[in-house]
């Protein structure tokens, strides 16, 4: 992972509570510096990974994974081929199309995140974040369960670079689409409220700024270097994993309007107006990409660190527990980690064919991990 340039539904009652928490609790103005969070001994996840099974092989840089609302299949993107596949719970894959107007950057750009509309049954919309000739963009296509058709760019003007493109998409319990963007190797953009880069964005299904955004534009939070993982917990809180430059990678609890520090801070700092991470790692043991929340813990896939981190979170407060590493050096670079609907399981994918893992095209895999 590049380090030498710039840093850093299916919802019922629980979802309604999560949405309320998001709107009432997270949509707030930026505040003062938060203190460092300790790791209380009483915080712990109910389970841990107990089994891992290879379910699909023959992949080349599977970057994004997102389940259909009914849990019947998942959509998986390949970064450099721009192909999109549907994959059954047993791992059988079928190409359903590709995303047009895509291109690579010779580094980390290409076809990245995917998200399925919570109202897919009625509108058949899916969303992609990808690199194009004019920059990174978010696009919407129609998916009928068999093939992708149509193409509409709903948000453009996100600068691209060889590295630091962000790229993850996820729908929140509030029904809006969240997207991560990197600083495009221009550190000042992360603090620029007129730039879409170095941010977490919150937008409508048509690509407009979501109502209630803190700066009356697309920006939900700022001060990010290269965020590649976002996931919501059972309380509707948004967690984010972010690649640092040379000292600290981060796990952040994201709130509306907060400034997460880059490039002023990498990891914890005491600068007024900057929000500290809930957890940090040395870059050699993490370099995080995707995250998922299962059974009271954030699971974070590590690229350079070649491991799956388990970080217990507390439903009643913002504390996190002691992080545990699984599969260290066993499967290589881990990119996407996604909760399987209706079960305490994860899908975990490798990107060892991404130029940093030293493996040929077709060598990447998707695993199923059981949490118990």
Place 24 in a pLDDT band, splitting at 50, 70 and 90. Answer: very low
Catalytic residue among 130, 164, 218, 224: 164
Give the pLDDT score at 51: 97
9: pLDDT confidence band, cut at 50, 70 and 90?
Answer: very low
pLDDT tens for 213-250 read 999 999 999 999 999 999 999 999 999 999 999 999 99
Binned at pLDDT 50, 70 and 90, residue 44 comes out as low
pLDDT at position 360 over 80:
yes
| Rounded Cα gap, residues 63 and 352, in angstroms | 11
Pairing of strands 238-242, 248-254: antiparallel
* pLDDT, tens only, 311-333: 999 999 999 999 999 999 999 99
- Name the pTM for this structure: 0.90
- Residue 46's pLDDT band, with cuts at 50, 70 and 90, is low
Q: How far apart are CA 122 and CA 91, in angstroms?
A: 26
164 is catalytic: yes
Percent of the chain exceeding pLDDT 70 equals: 88
Mean pLDDT over 162-176 rounds to: 98
If you write DSSP's letter for every residue of 257-325 in order, what string do you get? T-B--TTT-SSS---TTPPPPSEEEEGGG--EEEEEEETTEEEEEESTT-SEEEEEB-SSSS-B---EE
Domain ranges of the chain: 13-371
Strand, helix or coil for residue 331: coil
Tens-place pLDDT, residues 115-157: 999 999 999 999 999 999 999 999 999 999 999 999 999 999 9
326-354 b/e (C-beta count within 10 Å ≥ 16 → b): bbeeebbbbbbbbbbbeebbbbbbbbbbb
Query: Cis omega before residue 263 (within 30°)?
Result: yes
CATH code of the domain made up of 13-371: 2.120.10.30
- In which element (H, E) is residue 254 found? strand 248-254
H helix runs in 196-239, sequence order: none
Q: Is 201 helix (H, G, I), strand (E, B) or coil?
A: strand
Report whether pLDDT(67) > 50: yes
Region of poorest pLDDT, from 4-13, 91-100, 141-150, 286-295: 4-13
pLDDT band with cut points at 50, 70 and 90 for residue 41: very low
CA atoms of 163 and 278, how far apart (whole Å): 25
- Joined together, the tokens standing for residue 278 give 């809930």
3-class DSSP assignment, residue 122 = helix
């Amino acid at each position: 992972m590049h380090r030498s340039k710039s840093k850093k539904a299916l919802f019922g009652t629980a979802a309604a509570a999560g949405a309320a928490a998001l709107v009432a609790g997270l949509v707030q103005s930026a505040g003062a510096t938060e203190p460092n969070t300790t790791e209380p001994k009483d915080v712990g996840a109910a389970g841990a990974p107990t089994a891992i099974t290879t379910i699909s092989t023959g992949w080349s840089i599977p970057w994004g994974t997102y389940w259909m609302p009914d849990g019947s299949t998942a959509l998986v993107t390949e970064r450099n081929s721009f192909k999109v596949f549907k994959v059954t719970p047993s791992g059988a894959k079928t190409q359903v199309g590709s995303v047009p107007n895509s291109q690579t950057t010779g580094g980390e750009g290409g076809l990245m995140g995917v998200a399925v509309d919570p109202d897919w049954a009625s509108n058949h919309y899916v969303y992609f974040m990808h690199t194009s000739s004019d920059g990174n963009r978010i696009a919407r296509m129609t998916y009928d369960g068999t093939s992708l058709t149509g193409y509409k760019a709903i948000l453009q003007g996100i600068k691209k670079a060889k590295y630091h493109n962000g790229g993850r998409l996820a729908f929140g319990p509030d029904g809006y689409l969240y997207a991560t963007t990197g600083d495009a190797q221009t550190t000042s953009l992360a603090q620029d409220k007129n730039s879409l880069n170095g941010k977490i964005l919150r937008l409508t299904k048509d690509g407009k700024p979501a109502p209630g955004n803190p700066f009356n534009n697309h920006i939900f939070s700022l001060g990010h270097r290269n965020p590649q993982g976002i996931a919501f917990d059972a309380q509707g809180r948004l967690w984010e994993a972010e690649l640092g430059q040379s000292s600290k990678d981060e796990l952040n609890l994201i709130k509306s309007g907060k400034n997460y520090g880059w490039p002023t801070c990498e990891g914890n700092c005491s600068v007024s107006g900057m929000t500290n991470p809930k957890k940090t790692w040395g870059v050699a043991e993490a370099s995080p990409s995707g995250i998922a929340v299962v059974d009271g813990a954030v699971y974070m896939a590590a690229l350079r660190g070649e491991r799956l981190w388990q970080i217990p979170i507390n439903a009643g407060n913002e504390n996190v527990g002691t992080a545990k590493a699984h599969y260290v050096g066993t499967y290589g670079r881990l990119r996407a980690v996604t909760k399987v609907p209706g079960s305490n399981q994860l899908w975990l994918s490798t990107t060892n064919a991404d130029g940093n893992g030293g493996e040929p095209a077709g060598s990447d895999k998707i695993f199923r991990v059981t949490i118990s």
